[in-house]
A and B are shown apart, each in its own frame.
Chain A
Amino acid sequence: MMTPSSPLVRLVRLGVLAFGAAIILFPYVFMISASLKPPEDVFSASLSLWPEHFSAYENYSKALTRIPMLRILLNGALVCTAIVIFQILFALPAAYALAKLRFPGRGLLFGLVMLGLLVPIHAISIPLYAAAQISGLLNTLAVLVIPFTLSVFAMFLFRQFIKAMPDELIHAARMDGLSEAAIVWRIILPNAWPAASAFAIFSVVAHWNDLYWPLITISKTQLATPPLGLLFFRSAEVGDDYGALMAATLIVTLPLILFFLFAQKLFIEGVTMTGLKG
């Protein structure tokens, strides 16, 4: 840090980092390798990464057709997008009120935000499931979105962020004759953009990954999200067809990884701001 390290120290350090990176990448390497291999090659118990016989076409076409893969990816994208939009739409006005306006019940509302931060969806899934069943929403894409339209985490994060904004900003907007709603969308939202994009990353990673709620509410393959779709794929599988399974895992893993590789800065900032995966 202060004094430059000796070449030996650096060599050891880079060696340790490279070894760790190799362990992290180990599963990806074998995933790609096995996705190209026919079953005989997978069962042959050899560590060679290069397949003796290429079976990529068979594996990937199984992965794409045994379950409606493209439809499932689309479901995931639709659900995640809808969730993020609703979350920001609902949370931002309330967060602004909590941060900058004085009104009776503010303490109560903030208390409920804290309660919400404590109680995860898993704990209240039984009544939510019952409500979904009564309203006939099971096996719809809507049921995958509705319970998550309220994000107390977004409210909390935005409130902290808006609190730090100067009051003059809002006073000036009021002088210009803007309504409070206009202030939220035309003044607060552009200024809260770093928090909003960090939250969006957090939300997409969490809901793209979520298995619990889709597992409970969706039984039709057509409506599955990627994690649930993969479970359906696994149960449709006869025997240990790891080549096709690895092809399917690669297909469902790739979109978010590509998104990450193209928007790394956004992801890293998102993690440090939100402490991801609440």
Chain B
Amino acid sequence: MQPEATKTRRLSRFDYREVRAALLLCAPTAVLMLALLVLPTLAVFALSFTDAELGVPGFQFLGFGAYADLFADKGFIRAFRNTTVYVALVAPASVIIGLVLALLIESEVRGRAFFRSVYFLPVVSLTVAMASVWQYLMHPSFGPMNLVLQRFGLPSINWLGSSDNVLIALALIGIWQALGFNLVLFLAGLTSINRDLYAAAEMDGVRSAWSRFWTVTWPMLGPTTLFVVTITMINAVKVFETVATLTQGGPSKASEVLLYTIYKEGFVYLHIGVASAMAVVFVAVLLVLLLIQTKVLEKQVHYT
């Protein structure tokens, strides 16, 4: 009798008309979700354990062996390492420069709107288009960047054409593009800091701008900073457009990154099994970044 009673009480938590309305409102989205998200995700997961190739009938089930193969694959390891290097170059630089510029803009009365708009321009510029512009700027013989270096008596740099420099060159483009986005988020975080805190800090003997930053701004900006850091890393892990436009993974695979490798395996070589396993690892990387974000955000002391 007991479970029966609980069940009735549980059902009575819902109002029949409300449930009917909710299910009707959610039905179209639920169908889309099944078709565009749930089934494809399950399919990728299932494919990732196989050696399936498009256009080749029949495939073998490899189980976790597929993943063992993947992590033994030099090409994949290289893509993983290149992506890590790219993220390690783009994320800290674009976050720190974004923060410094936001602080400068915030403390300056003049030209706030102007500077914000200028720094934001790359965010709203077509990535493939701006990548083409950077290709011209970085051209080894007549590119303006090398011409400027020569003007200062410095040696020319083979930006995109040398396997030593290509990731740095791509990272420069990535930083240039992510900067304004981070800056705008930091500006929003800065304006939400209670002005009274600065007055209180001054009463407590915090005089210099430097110590004001470390006693008030930096701790109050904590949640914003964490959000900016993780979103920049997530976006950097997804680097694709610049690589597809400028280097196609070259020279000598020095700019093979995760998404570009997945694209090539899946849609050029048609190795859909391998590409699916790579996609699962790719999502796992994103999951780790998101978990860091939520875990740290939970621990973060909220001052406001």
**Interface set of A (CB-CB < 8 Å, partner B):** 1-2, 5, 10, 13-14, 16-17, 20-21, 23-28, 30-31, 34, 42-47, 90-91, 93-94, 96-98, 101-106, 109, 112, 115-120, 122-129, 131, 146-147, 149-150, 152, 155, 179-181, 184, 205, 208-209, 211-212, 215-216, 226-227, 230-231, 234, 240, 242, 245-246, 248-250, 252-253, 256-257, 259-261, 264, 267-268, 271-272, 275-277
- Determine whether the beta carbon of B14 is less than 8 Å from that of A102: yes
- Determine whether the beta carbon of B107 is less than 8 Å from that of A1: yes
The distance in angstroms between the C-alpha atoms of A201 and B124, with both chains bound, is: 10
- Determine whether the beta carbon of A27 is less than 8 Å from that of B266: no
Residues of B within 8 A of A118 (CB): 283, 286-287, 290
- Determine whether the beta carbon of B107 is less than 8 Å from that of A150: no
Confirm or deny: B117 has a beta carbon within 8 angstroms of a beta carbon on chain A: yes
- Determine whether the beta carbon of B44 is less than 8 Å from that of A126: yes
- Determine whether the beta carbon of A123 is less than 8 Å from that of B126: no
Interface residue from B33, B124, B139, B179 paired with A256 (Cβ < 8 Å): B124
Name the 7 nearest CB pairs between A and B, nearest first: A180-B21, A124-B40, A103-B22, A249-B129, A93-B25, A94-B29, A127-B43
User: How many pairs, one residue from A and one from B, have CB atoms within 8 Å of each other in the complex?
Assistant: 285
Return the CB mask of B20-52 against A: 1 if under 8 Å, else 0: 011111101110110011111101100100000
**Interface set of B (CB-CB < 8 Å, partner A):** 13-15, 18-19, 21-26, 28-30, 32-33, 36-41, 43-44, 47, 97, 101, 104-108, 110-111, 113, 115-130, 132-134, 136-137, 139, 141-142, 144, 147-148, 151, 176, 179-181, 184-185, 188, 198-199, 202, 209, 212, 227, 231, 235, 238, 240-241, 244-245, 259, 262-263, 266-267, 272, 275-276, 279-280, 282-283, 286-287, 290
- Determine whether the beta carbon of A127 is less than 8 Å from that of B40: yes
Residues of B within 8 A of A249 (CB): 126, 129-130, 132-133
A148: nearest residue on chain B (CB-CB)? Answer: B36
Interface residue from B26, B30, B125, B241 paired with A211 (Cβ < 8 Å): B241
Residues of B within 8 A of A248 (CB): 129
The distance in angstroms between the C-alpha atoms of A127 and B115, with both chains bound, is: 44
Q: Smallest distance from the beta carbon of A267 to chain B beta carbons, Å?
A: 7
Residues of B within 8 A of A227 (CB): 126-129, 241
Q: Smallest distance from the beta carbon of B120 to chain A beta carbons, Å?
A: 7
B44: nearest residue on chain A (CB-CB)? Answer: A124
Interface residue from A24, A43, A205 paired with B179 (Cβ < 8 Å): A24
What are 23 A-B interface contacts by the 8 Å CB criterion? Answer: A2-B199, A13-B107, A20-B101, A21-B115, A21-B119, A47-B147, A90-B28, A103-B22, A115-B41, A119-B41, A124-B279, A126-B44, A147-B36, A149-B32, A150-B37, A152-B33, A181-B25, A227-B127, A234-B132, A248-B129, A249-B130, A267-B120, A271-B181
- Determine whether the beta carbon of A93 is less than 8 Å from that of B26: yes
Residues of B within 8 A of A21 (CB): 115, 118-119
Residues of A within 8 A of B111 (CB): 14, 17
- Determine whether the beta carbon of B198 is less than 8 Å from that of A253: no
Residues of A within 8 A of B280 (CB): 123
Interface residue from B18, B22, B113, B141 paired with A45 (Cβ < 8 Å): B141
Residues of B within 8 A of A117 (CB): 290
Residues of B within 8 A of A106 (CB): 22
Residues of B within 8 A of A127 (CB): 39-40, 43-44, 47
Known: A10-B108, A44-B142. A101 touches B18 (CB 8 A): yes
Besides A123-B44, A227-B241, 19 new A-B residue pairs in contact (Cβ under 8 A), listed by A number: A1-B106, A13-B108, A26-B137, A47-B148, A90-B32, A91-B29, A101-B18, A103-B23, A119-B41, A123-B279, A149-B36, A150-B29, A150-B32, A180-B22, A227-B127, A231-B244, A242-B139, A268-B116, A277-B235
